[in-house]
Structure 1
């Protein structure tokens, strides 16, 4: 499987301003940044299939790929869904695995500045 990612347009400041009426805890800020980054990467990714066609990346496909490439990193489609919707905080091993899959530094998922 090959995953190709384009640049994202959403900024962290945009996301955090949406919630400016309520004060976010550091955990909520981290979940917001991570979910935004992962959502953007998935939305902009294309998967090459065995027959040479390309299609959009799905949570199911990503979970399968992570399971095969990183068998020691437990992940499921529903777990990815919870991460994308900010309902969970990822473990460090999952952040590292996702960074490798999408060819971004692990810091990409946890720092406010996308240029990190």
Structure 2
């Protein structure tokens, strides 16, 4: 699956499952670890974990195997490594604290809704 198609699949699943403030950052040329980062907010740590679980399920349905998952039911930040796409699902407090969009965006228009 192409990176862009995987991003769309992740964005759609997060949206369907009520993820908030979903942003995708194109980090090609900024890092060699991935092509895109998708960041979303869960309403609670439990919701954040559920969002990642649903994304994992959808990715597997499409024949892909996630490379890793960091964080658990009580985590404020869960990272899902899909290779070309890394998914960050955070509580609102964690997202405000770490400000990943600001960290990875060179210009204000680098993140897309």
Give the TM-score normalised by the residue count of structure 2: 0.33
Q: Decide which structure has greater helix share.
A: 1
